Amino acid sequence: KDDDVVFETFVHSNGREFVCAVRGGRRYYLDDWHSHEWQPFPERWYSEGRLVPMDDNSQNRSSSSNHQNGTSGETTRHSERDDREGYLKHPKRGRVETYLMEERHYVHFFFDRQTGKWLRLPIGWELHHSLVKQMVDHVEEALPHWGDRADILALLRACNYNPDECIGTYLLLDGDGWLKPQRTSKEARAEENKDERIEHLTRKLKQMQSELETERKSRKEAEKQLQELRGNIRVFCRPRRDDRAQMCLKFPTDQDVMVSNSDGSKKVFNFDKVYNTEVTQEQIFTDTQPIITSCVDGYNVCLLAYGQTGSGKTFTMMGPDDNPGINIRAISELLKVCSERSETKTYGLKVSMVEIYNETVQDLLTSDARALELQMVGNVVRIPNITEMEVSQVSDIKDLMKLGDSNRKVASTKMNSTSSRSHLVLMINVSGEDKVTGAVSKGVLTLCDLAGSERISKTEATGQRLVEAAAINKSLSALGQVFSALRESQLHIPYRNSKLTQILRPCLGGDAKACLFVNISPDVTNYPETCNTLEFGSNARQVALGQAKQNIQKRPGGFPPR
């Protein structure tokens, strides 16, 4: 009849098999890979394979084996029992009927040119196949908590590369204890003791951290006491923040800085404190505050900023109006301390500001910025006719800073649009008198913003700028020679080699506390200058000035006259 359907199997020459059906004189095949629907049988396939009629007897046997009713068929069913039938007892589902079915599966192969054979595609390779990746992505999108793509592909293989069946199978079996690897008794005991072991290790870790912190504080205190006794120059390293630069700096600890060159070479330097590029002006001042305020007690204190042009020295020492540096903060703090002690002592603060330009000392607190002469009286340096202005409030400080800064020599170079062409030295004399004993204390705070250590080839200085650069390098070289002589405890210290070292002699010749900021650039293009600056700081850190002494003069008898 025209309505009868005849089922066939088409065996293609490539080994694939398709279920076919003939109805009304037309032949169709089941496309179970893409559309899962019946499609017209292609004409070209007749020459690419063969059609095999389906075995109706096998279907009859299969249906008879599943027949459950009737005692007359009991013997026949027993004699024709299929070994593929069976069951298992599931802890949650009870008795589960099973059958070992023979199904046709897709298997992914690749052609191996070396052997000339088709070999099964490994899972690791198959995950990179575009079609398979789409299937795995589809499953992963539906089951985002299932993060193992290899596991997803394994179940896809078992589900004949049907993503929907893969998702359904996973959801059906999710949470089944039988699908989880069975733990050994040893693993079970370890699981039971896990919380106890974690708690024990946590307590032990906290104890070790506490002991380490105690040891660190103790070691730091010992180093501080040793520094006080030896009078070592404290050296702080501050890198400039530059988001455009190719970073060559790393900060393993708060006392170490690592510099990496573009060729892979690395150097590590150790200082009293190493900051990162995010450090604030407040934090910088907080770390130096104890040293600075000690000048109220009669100590001589010196802070210097050293580094190449554009590394942030002036920002550290002066800073902008809305974010001031050490200079203004230091004088403000001294005024505050003096005010807090006003019930027992009387204080006075006088400020002087000079620049050293081309080996000439110039007074910055006068309108004509006149030149000054230095006089050496023993180890004491005197500057006759220098302008000293009293300060009693913060507004006085800002006015003085503006006046001095406006008189300072600056010029544009390739390294910095406003490169300082001179060394700026700010001196604050703090004198105090005890209202009870009459003892007089005298301390001097010297704040020095050194000119940039110029590399002429990079700054492209010419003419007058070239002369200035040579003078700057000469004075900085003289400062390095003084540090080297002090470090090696030489009998002759070459203070007279420059005006800079002559002015700094009271700060470096003993009895004073000194702190050096080495300012560096984070850019790898400045690697040589950065290393030179850090080497300078390392050498300075080894200088022992001797224990600082207070400059206090007591009245005879210990009490002031009535």
Same-domain pairing of 10 and 120 = no
Kindly indicate the confidence band of residue 221, based on its pLDDT and cuts at 50, 70 and 90: low
- Name the domain boundary from 166, 201, 230: 230
Mean pLDDT of 153-166: 89
CA nearest neighbour of 391 among 321, 339, 320, 319:
339
Higher pLDDT, 116 or 159: 159
State percent of the chain over pLDDT 70.
83
Rounded Cα distance, 377 and 363, in Å: 21
Mean pLDDT of 347-374: 89
Cα 527 from chain centroid? 19
- Name the domain boundary from 58, 86, 104: 58
Q: List the single range of 13-17, 237-241, 503-507 with lowest mean pLDDT.
A: 13-17
Residue 311 assigned as binding residue: yes
Provide the pairing of β-strand 380-382 with 360-363.
Answer: unpaired
Task: Specify the amino acid at residue 196.
Answer: E
CB 297 within 8 A of CB 307: no
pLDDT for residue 11: 87
What Å distances lie between residue 481 and 158, 475, 493, 512, 539, CA to CA? 80, 10, 8, 19, 10
CB 309 within 8 A of CB 453: yes
Question: 325 in a domain, yes or no?
Answer: yes
pLDDT for residue 469: 81
Kindly indicate the confidence band of residue 85, based on its pLDDT and cuts at 50, 70 and 90: confident
Query: Per-residue pLDDT for 226 more than 80?
Result: no
Query: Per-residue pLDDT for 341 more than 70?
Result: yes
Kindly indicate the confidence band of residue 103, based on its pLDDT and cuts at 50, 70 and 90: low
Higher pLDDT, 404 or 83: 404
Residue 312 assigned as binding residue: yes
Q: Which phi and psi angles does 49 have, rounded to 5°?
A: -175, -160
Same-domain pairing of 257 and 224 = no
Same-domain pairing of 304 and 338 = yes
Six token digits for residue 205: 């870790």
Q: Which phi and psi angles does 365 have, rounded to 5°?
A: -100, 15
Query: Per-residue pLDDT for 38 more than 50?
Result: yes
pLDDT for residue 76: 39
Same-domain pairing of 27 and 160 = no
| CATH number where 541 lies | 3.40.850.10
pLDDT in tens, 462-476: 677 778 888 888 999
Six token digits for residue 75: 């013997």
Query: Per-residue pLDDT for 418 more than 50?
Result: no
Question: 71 in a domain, yes or no?
Answer: no
Residue 214 assigned as binding residue: no
Question: 508 in a domain, yes or no?
Answer: yes
Question: 68 in a domain, yes or no?
Answer: no
Kindly indicate the confidence band of residue 345, based on its pLDDT and cuts at 50, 70 and 90: very high
pLDDT for residue 544: 82
Query: Per-residue pLDDT for 54 more than 80?
Result: no
Structural domain harbouring 197: 193-230
Helix (H) or strand (E) holding 534: helix 527-541
Higher pLDDT, 311 or 85: 311
pLDDT for residue 213: 83
pLDDT for residue 522: 93
Same-domain pairing of 247 and 299 = yes
Mean pLDDT of 139-160: 88
Question: 562 in a domain, yes or no?
Answer: no
Question: 451 in a domain, yes or no?
Answer: yes
Kindly indicate the confidence band of residue 456, based on its pLDDT and cuts at 50, 70 and 90: low
Mean pLDDT of 321-347: 92
Same-domain pairing of 457 and 543 = yes
Q: List the single range of 71-75, 103-107, 515-519, 543-547 with lowest mean pLDDT.
A: 71-75
Same-domain pairing of 51 and 148 = no
pLDDT in tens, 87-99: 778 777 778 777 6
Same-domain pairing of 339 and 242 = yes
Mean pLDDT of 155-182: 77
Rounded Cα distance, 416 and 309, in Å: 7
Same-domain pairing of 273 and 403 = yes
Rounded Cα distance, 504 and 514, in Å: 10
Same-domain pairing of 241 and 358 = yes
pLDDT for residue 212: 85
Q: Which phi and psi angles does 366 have, rounded to 5°?
A: -125, 155
To the question of pTM greater than 0.85 for the whole model, the response is no
CB 139 within 8 A of CB 152: yes
Mean pLDDT of 499-516: 87
What Å distances lie between residue 189 and 185, 506, 539, CA to CA? 6, 73, 59
Matching residue, tokens 């001294």: 334
Chain-wide mean pLDDT for the chain? 82
* Residues ≥6 apart with Cβ < 8 Å to 137: none
Residue 25 assigned as binding residue: no
Same-domain pairing of 210 and 328 = no
pLDDT for residue 88: 79
Instruction: Tell me the H-state helices in 460-526.
Output: 464-487, 499-508
DSSP code for 183: P
Q: For the chain, state the CA radius of gyration.
A: 44
Neighbours of 330 (CB within 10 A): 26
CB 414 within 8 A of CB 525: no
Kindly indicate the confidence band of residue 416, based on its pLDDT and cuts at 50, 70 and 90: very low
Query: Per-residue pLDDT for 414 more than 60?
Result: no
Residue 502 assigned as binding residue: no
Kindly indicate the confidence band of residue 460, based on its pLDDT and cuts at 50, 70 and 90: low
Six token digits for residue 382: 């005197």
Question: 86 in a domain, yes or no?
Answer: no
Mean pLDDT of 520-531: 92
Same-domain pairing of 301 and 361 = yes
Question: 535 in a domain, yes or no?
Answer: yes
Mean pLDDT of 313-340: 92
Residue 309 assigned as binding residue: yes
Kindly indicate the confidence band of residue 413, based on its pLDDT and cuts at 50, 70 and 90: very low
- For the chain, the domain total comes to 4
pLDDT for residue 71: 40
CA nearest neighbour of 540 among 223, 295, 231, 225:
231
pLDDT for residue 60: 41
State percent of the chain over pLDDT 90.
34
